Structure 1
Amino acid sequence: MSKAARGPNEKLGTLLALAGISNAGLARRVNDLGSQRGLTLRYDKTSVARWVSKGMVPQGAAPHLIAAAIGQKLGRPVPLHEIGLADADPAPEVGLAFPRDVGDAVRSATDLWRLDLAGRRDFLAGSFAVTAYATPASRWLITPADGSVARHVTEPTSQRVGHSDVSKLREAAEDARRWDSKYGGGDWRSGMVPECLRVEAAPLLLGAYSDEVGRSLFGATAELTRLAGWMAFDTGQQEAAQRYYIQALRLARAAADVPLGGYVLASMSLQATYRGFADEGVDLAQAALERNRGLATARTMSFFHLVEARAHAKAGEAAACGTAIGAAEAQLERSRKGDPDPSWLGFYSYDRLAADAAECYRDLGAPLQVRRFTEKAMASPTEEFVRSHGLRLVVSAVAELELGNLDAACAVGTRALEVAGRISSARTTEYVRDLLHRLEPYGNDTRVMELRERARPLLAAPA
């Protein structure tokens, strides 16, 4: 259904011409984007003609899908007002702002938390746009910490927040990290993180607290929000992840926690790299590094260098990647047991460095290096990081295949499938899918056919 005509929508027509999209092309793109979000849309070139020539406004998610479709072609976000649809439901814009004011930042974050992203596919109408990270990153670089964040509320019903309240949030974050590593971002327990933000964290941020308690509170909520983004990223909900990451970075600024802000930027970098925006991934990782020089621990800086290496590898920059891996190794060697490393870095050790280095060399097409680092990464597998173990197995299988060892590739691939079947992770499934794609030239081989048959339940499972 569409709202009544308002006269020709010249803005939409102009932008379609600028993007070089025909009426039929836009209809197809909108239908495809809707299908990706579980929506059944049947727009055609006549529908688009009505939007342009008669100014009809499509209802539901369609205006945001139109903006997303045009934005994909132009390579930048397209706001609704630019296509003459500013009076559509503004909800899908929630979570993309990086307010300068602390009070506005609280509203921006809590507005996002109140929305059930998993249950509102119409809300997630905008596609991932790496350019949406530009303003948050630049504002954080210019001012990585707010002034006083104390909140004085006179209403007698307002909650007074103390350190014990913050401790509960930190415990929840620690539990969530363990769940995520062991069961994947799609495990049912992962839904407890958004619920914790809505039910527990939001009332605390709207309560009364001193500057000291407030900083700690903003830090804890930033950790939880980043975790919600990471879990969304792991399950393929890229739009939700992007919104959570932006709000996590803003909360980290309110916490005056520069290393945590760097960690959020590193998460943004990994997402950008994964989505094919390697240059932007390099920029985000380097932003984390530059702001944290002299502030973060050696182990923290090592991780940021490693994230930078991942982006360089995806961009095909072998020399820069090697330099970044070398810097990551050097920083990790400098780290000491008594260093004040943040709790959220508990996952990071040489095993993780070796695993990511293996992925770097996979992207650079150097299977011998992949094998060398994978052997180091898998020297001491642990049940605590099940998803990581599964990903390492897939990367190892790819290396063996590229080295001409089909039997070893299928054997390791079978082990990877056993692990993948125990977790809920869209990323892991994509890694498996990539391995099977690489095995297609050997499709008639019995070992490959058996592996493909074993993978069928995993690939058929709903995302």
Structure 2
Amino acid sequence: MSREQRGPNEKLGAVLALAGISNAGLARRVNDLGAQRGLTLRYDKTSVARWVTKGMIPQGAAPHLIAAAISSKLGRRVPLHEIGLADTDPAPEVGLAFPRDVRGAVDSAMELYRLDVAPGKGIWQSLAGSFTVAAYATPVSRWLITPADAYVGRATPAQGPAAAGRVGHTDVSKLREAAEEARRWDSKYGGGDWRSSMVPECLRTDAAPLLLGSYADDVGRSLFRATAELTRLAGWMAFDTGQQEAAQRYYIQALRLARAAADVPLGGYVLASMSLQATYRGFADEGVDLAQAALERNRSVATARTMSFFHLVEARALAKAHDAPGCGAALSAAESWLERSREGDGDPGWLDFYAHDRLAADAAECYIDLKVPGQVRHFTEQALSEPTEEFVRSHGLRLVVAAVAELESGNLDAACAAGSRAVQVAGRISSARTTDYVRNLLHRLAPYGDEPLVKELQEQARPLLATPA
């Protein structure tokens, strides 16, 4: 569906010419981006011609998909107003700002929290396909320049019934407890579990009023830290369910709140999350930059275990970029830092998932990207040697990696056996990422489609792959 505006859309025509994209090329890109979001679009070169020459405005997510397609070609973020489609949605920029001042940071976060609490619905539906890695450039540069605000206290609460009064450490403790509980649920049931909606709801109804209250500087730091953790977690859950546009906005606001908290390691953790997302989306070079930004600012600041994790994230991006020497060096650094870690180091609570088994699991994935099956098998065996009852999703991902390792080593029976266990685990959680891993495994098994074990695994996975993310 489209609606008509007056006159041709000269802005869109000019940007398409600048990007060197034909009408047919743009239509194809938009249709492909829509398919990635579960949308069936059938635009063609005639559709694009109508957008440009007659000023027809496509409805739904299409304007954002157009902007995303052009952004990818130009290598920078293209806002809707630049292509003459700014009036198609009232809030395309929500969550992308990284204000320099603390009050602006609160306002930016509040604007994001007021959106529909369920990513994938409401405003998020119209923003589908709007992820662009270039949106991270300004937030990262500003965080690197100034990773901590000088003062964050608020003397008087904001006006309005939504604001809390005087905020104390007890109020902040409740937010921290909510973050810890949500992290446990996410690890056990996946980002798409119904309980995950509690996180954005908690941000909207619990954290937001506190941010608008009055508080001393020390309480404010703790408040911003707890809210940053919750906001990063909301982004991680959105990422896990395939809602990349929502994840990106939550990550940017989490980074800004971590700066207000003067918590450099937490800011690094947000950057590591951004790096994993960028790498997962195919932007390996940007993933390397994000991970290295986290490392650079945390030298002599973060604990040994934290530095180990940041190096591991760097290794994942370097492997995806096919930089074998760089990946090997990053993995060695990750192992070395982890060996240095000790009880009593004061590791942050959000890093409680990280130990040698997680390092081994990610190392295995690195070697999948580098196509070294022997190393994949070696590290997968280490990763699966530890019990993972609390981290069900992680266990499922490791089983898929184990299946890939067996397949690439020529052990089809063992690959199908591990794949079968992975499908069983994936069926117990709600994680689009885990489903993507299973789908990738089945793609690798396609050449063996006539084998009975492969047919059996394909049939076992059918209900999982048919379930919407």
Partner of 2:156: 153
What aligned pairs does 1:224-235 form with structure 2 within 5 A after superposition?
224-235=230-241
CA shift digits 1:159-207 (9 cap, x unpaired): 2111111101100100011001111111111111011011111111011
Cα 1:63–1:417 shift into 2, 3 Å: closer
1:384 paired with 2:386, answer no
Count of residue pairs the alignment pairs up: 463
Partner of 2:6: 6
Partner of 2:138: 135
In the TM superposition, what is the alpha-carbon distance from 1:123 to its structure 2 partner?
Answer: 3.1
Moved more, 307-316 or 111-120: 111-120
In the TM superposition, what is the alpha-carbon distance from 1:373 to its structure 2 partner?
Answer: 1.2
1:248 paired with 2:254, answer yes
Distance 1:40 1:408 in 2: 37
State whether residues 143 and 259 of structure 2, in contact with CA within 8 Å, keep that contact through their aligned partners in structure 1. Answer: yes
Distance 1:226 1:338 in 2: 25
Cα 1:161–1:336 shift into 2, 3 Å: same
Distance 2:54 2:448 in 1: 55
Equivalent AA in structure 2 for residue 223 of structure 1:
E
Distance 1:129 1:455 in 2: 31
Distance 1:150 1:371 in 2: 52
Cα 1:460–1:125 shift into 2, 3 Å: closer
State whether residues 60 and 126 of structure 2, in contact with CA within 8 Å, keep that contact through their aligned partners in structure 1. Answer: no
Aligned match for 1:283, one of 289, 301, 309: 289
Cα 1:88–1:377 shift into 2, 3 Å: same
Aligned match for 1:394, one of 400, 414, 417: 400
Partner of 1:239: 245
State whether residues 91 and 123 of structure 1, in contact with CA within 8 Å, keep that contact through their aligned partners in structure 2. Answer: no
Partner of 1:119: 121
Cα 1:149–1:358 shift into 2, 3 Å: same
CA shift digits 1:327-363 (9 cap, x unpaired): 1111111111111100101101111111111111111
Equivalent AA in structure 2 for residue 369 of structure 1:
Q
What aligned pairs does 1:83-94 form with structure 2 within 5 A after superposition?
83-94=83-94
Distance 2:5 2:306 in 1: 56
Cα 1:324–1:407 shift into 2, 3 Å: same
In the TM superposition, what is the alpha-carbon distance from 1:232 to its structure 2 partner?
Answer: 0.7
Partner of 2:302: 296
In the TM superposition, what is the alpha-carbon distance from 1:41 to its structure 2 partner?
Answer: 5.6
What aligned pairs does 1:170-209 form with structure 2 within 5 A after superposition?
170-209=176-215
In the TM superposition, what is the alpha-carbon distance from 1:322 to its structure 2 partner?
Answer: 1.1
1:139 counterpart SS class: helix
In the TM superposition, what is the alpha-carbon distance from 1:32 to its structure 2 partner?
Answer: 4.8
State whether residues 266 and 307 of structure 1, in contact with CA within 8 Å, keep that contact through their aligned partners in structure 2. Answer: yes
State whether residues 306 and 325 of structure 1, in contact with CA within 8 Å, keep that contact through their aligned partners in structure 2. Answer: yes
In the TM superposition, what is the alpha-carbon distance from 1:369 to its structure 2 partner?
Answer: 1.1
Aligned match for 1:210, one of 191, 216, 219: 216
What aligned pairs does 1:301-316 form with structure 2 within 5 A after superposition?
301-316=307-322
Equivalent AA in structure 2 for residue 142 of structure 1:
I
In the TM superposition, what is the alpha-carbon distance from 1:30 to its structure 2 partner?
Answer: 3.8
Structure 1: which 4+ aligned runs deviate by more than 6 Å?
none
Equivalent AA in structure 2 for residue 192 of structure 1:
M
How large is the Cα RMSD of the aligned pairs?
Answer: 1.9
Report percent identity of matched pairs.
80
1:331 paired with 2:337, answer yes
Distance 2:42 2:378 in 1: 51
CA shift digits 1:376-429 (9 cap, x unpaired): 111122210111111111111111111111111111111111111111111111
Moved more, 55-64 or 356-365: 55-64
1:438 paired with 2:444, answer yes
CA shift digits 1:105-155 (9 cap, x unpaired): 111111111111332243323432111111111110000001111112266
Aligned match for 1:414, one of 394, 407, 420: 420
Partner of 1:96: 96
Unaligned 5+ segments in structure 1 are: none
State whether residues 145 and 257 of structure 1, in contact with CA within 8 Å, keep that contact through their aligned partners in structure 2. Answer: yes
Aligned match for 1:363, one of 351, 366, 369: 369
Distance 1:76 1:303 in 2: 29
TM-score (structure 2 length as normaliser): 0.94
Equivalent AA in structure 2 for residue 147 of structure 1:
A
State whether residues 355 and 374 of structure 1, in contact with CA within 8 Å, keep that contact through their aligned partners in structure 2. Answer: yes
Unaligned 5+ segments in structure 2 are: none
